[in-house]
């Protein structure tokens, strides 16, 4: 019951509704079509199902170990074998530019691929997530030499990458970073300090690791403005890329974690480690955001991944577990119990909604980077910036909730480790925390993404939501969902205006309601995509009258299913969404309640 099947059909449906056809019509993707995307999903889906997924329980049970004498981390051999197949297959280079040896596919193709990787083994998938983020950083900020030596080897999977921000006294407040960088000869710097929570900070899957490290150079101003970014390889390399001996960085310890046991989370010590500057001096945060933003989308995707894996296991269990009587004399599968059906439908439609929200975010990044019209690129970047905190925070919160529902469906067996379903909950729980806690995502949303532009990006999204609601109003099967979304969107409109008007004068009041506001915005954005998809399905079914009977029946059945799902989502997620009162409650109530 712990098998995984790649949900190719719904992934393709999600890609279509968020605009894959329009994206592939752009000049930069003239060599890619939907059939090629389908082939990619099929090919990687087979790898995820047959090679990566079987390592999930093995990695959880065995974890990672540290040889304290050498500072070398060891993982289960099965993980190295799975990674090797992933790398040999060229999957690491899917979305890299062809000029750099990549496949030239849009980032959304890699996003869909990473969803399957995360479902198959979330802990192992973190390794290529950080590597991909390192690739995107170096593509923008690396110089020609760095790209020749390091970028090419990250793209082809020979080396992996890490992100080194957090320190014992510098968590979310990176202005407190104490790691130092001292100039040596030429372009070299000596890096000294300690970094914690470094995902896949050391391992034996590849023969080198490229650490990207925030540090403070002499004479730097205080706070985040004084941080610079340095590339520090685990193993030093010469100008040909040949390995030349261990650098001054090693793992001091491994964190003992609640979940993602297969992923070595390291305390790294830098002792005169040789590094080189990436980007301008004292501009480290700007460069690091090039790594953090794609990582946040990738972490939001983990909510989808873990929700899908938990859903599949819960569905299989409910079909086999016979308990109780519902309209029959003999016990039947618990899948026939209305309350179990409620939970399964909740999981099904929420996974679909989160998948579409994350995919929409990823495709906006593609449009922002590749559309030939500058104005379209700017608008797409604003949309990507707006959706990123929604996709990261709401999807990961829902991933935790769905993993918990899967345990509930299993009953007592869900609380027993041998069924494997508890692992999904333990693994999911980190996602709302790392790459910027979900509370930080909410603060980022109201401050940088709403108040800063006067609500323009959110207003653009609201306009699209209202247009979809107007289309759905005329369809009886979608009337209830449309009404719920119209009401929720009115609240979103009013609270957006309040944030814009209030932020500068009462920032704490806005921050007090930021998480509630994010929850409302994410639900509205996800519901709009589900509703639009249902509208198009109904319109297609109605237009199919008089054509092939089997096609009409299938189309009508699909339309009815999607209408039922969006109606359920609206009742469960929109009608109970955060209210204007909860968003505008104010910081004073919180302080008084805790006094």
Q: Enumerate the active-site residues.
A: 435
Cα separation of 183 and 190, whole Å? 6
Residue with tokens 């979304």: 485
**Other residues' Cβ atoms within 10 Å of the Cβ of residue 445:** 27
The runs of H, that is alpha helices, within 163-212 are none
Residue 399 phi, psi dihedral angles, 5° rounding: -60, -40
Residue with tokens 């207003």: 459
Cα separation of 238 and 236, whole Å? 7
Cα separation of 364 and 380, whole Å? 5
Cα separation of 227 and 572, whole Å? 45
| Six token digits for residue 391 | 């996709």
DSSP secondary structure letters along 52-106:
ITTHHHHHHHH-EEEETTTTEEEE-HHHHHHHHHHHHTTGGGTTS-GGGT-----
Cα separation of 262 and 244, whole Å? 29
Q: Using alpha carbons, select from 455, 461, 448, 313 the residue that is nearest to residue 385.
A: 448
| Six token digits for residue 563 | 């209408």
Q: What is the CA radius of gyration of the chain?
A: 24
Residue 496 phi, psi dihedral angles, 5° rounding: -65, -45
Cα separation of 89 and 509, whole Å? 51
CA-angle at 156, arms to 117 and 92, nearest 5°: 15
């Amino acid at each position: 019951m712990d098998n995984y099947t790649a949900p190719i059909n719904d992934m393709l449906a999600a890609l279509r509704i968020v605009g894959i056809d329009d994206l592939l019509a752009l000049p930069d993707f003239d060599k890619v079509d939907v059939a090629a995307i389908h082939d990619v999903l099929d090919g990687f889906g087979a790898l995820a199902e047959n090679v990566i997924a079987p390592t999930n329980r093995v990695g959880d049970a065995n974890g990672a170990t540290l040889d304290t004498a050498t500072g070398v981390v060891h993982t289960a051999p099965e993980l190295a074998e799975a990674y090797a197949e992933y790398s040999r297959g060229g999957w690491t280079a899917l979305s890299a530019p062809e000029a750099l040896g990549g496949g030239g596919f849009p980032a959304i193709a890699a996003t869909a691929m990473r969803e399957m990787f995360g479902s198959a083994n979330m802990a192992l998938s973190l390794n290529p997530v950080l590597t991909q983020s390192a690739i995107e950083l170096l593509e923008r900020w690396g110089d020609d030499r760095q790209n020749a030596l390091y970028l090419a080897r990250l793209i082809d999977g020979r080396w992996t990458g890490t992100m080194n921000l957090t320190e014992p006294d510098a968590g979310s407040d990176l202005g407190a970073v104490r790691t130092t960088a001292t100039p040596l000869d030429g372009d070299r710097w000596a890096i000294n300090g300690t970094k914690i929570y470094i995902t896949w900070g050391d391992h034996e899957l590849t023969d080198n690791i490229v650490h990207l490290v925030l540090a403070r150079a002499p004479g730097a101003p205080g706070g985040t403005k004084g941080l610079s970014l340095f590339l520090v390889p685990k193993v030093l390399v010469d100008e040909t890329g040949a390995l030349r001996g261990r650098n001054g960085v090693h793992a001091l310890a491994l964190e003992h974690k609640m979940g993602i046991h297969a992923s070595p989370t390291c305390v790294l010590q830098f002792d005169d480690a040789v590094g080189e500057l990436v980007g301008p001096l004292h501009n480290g945060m700007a460069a690091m955001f090039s790594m953090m933003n794609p990582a946040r989308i990738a972490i939001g995707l983990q909510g989808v991944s873990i929700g899908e894996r938990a859903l599949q296991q819960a569905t299989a269990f409910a079909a086999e577990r016979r308990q109780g009587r519902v309209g029959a004399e003999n016990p039947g599968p618990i899948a026939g119990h209305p309350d179990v059906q409620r939970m399964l439908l909740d999981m099904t439609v929420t996974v679909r909604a989160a998948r579409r929200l994350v995919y929409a975010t990823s495709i906006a990044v593609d449009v922002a980077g590749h559309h030939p019209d500058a104005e379209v690129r700017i608008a797409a970047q604003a949309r990507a910036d707006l959706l990123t905190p929604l996709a990261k925070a709401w999807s990961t919160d829902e991933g935790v909730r769905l993993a918990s529902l899967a345990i509930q469906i299993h009953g007592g067996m869900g609380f027993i480790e041998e069924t494997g379903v508890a692992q999904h909950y333990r693994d999911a729980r980190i996602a709302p925390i790392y790459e910027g806690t979900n509370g930080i995502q909410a603060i980022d949303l109201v401050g940088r993404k709403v108040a800063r532009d006067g609500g323009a990006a959110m207003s653009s999204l609201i306009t699209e939501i209202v247009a979809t609601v107007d289309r759905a109003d005329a369809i009886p099967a979608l009337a209830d969902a449309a009404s719920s979304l119209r009401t929720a969107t009115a609240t979103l409109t009013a609270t957006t205006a309040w944030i814009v008007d209030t932020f500068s004068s009462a920032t704490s009041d806005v921050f007090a309601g930021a998480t509630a506001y994010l929850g409302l915005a994410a639900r509205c954005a996800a519901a709009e995509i589900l509703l639009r998809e249902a509208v198009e399905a109904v319109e297609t079914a109605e237009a199919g009258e008089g054509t092939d009977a089997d096609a009409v029946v299938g189309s009508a059945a699909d339309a009815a299913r999607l209408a039922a799902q969006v109606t359920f989502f609206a009742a469960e997620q929109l009608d109970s969404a955060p209210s204007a009162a909860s968003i505008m409650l104010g910081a004073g109530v919180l302080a008084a309640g805790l006094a």
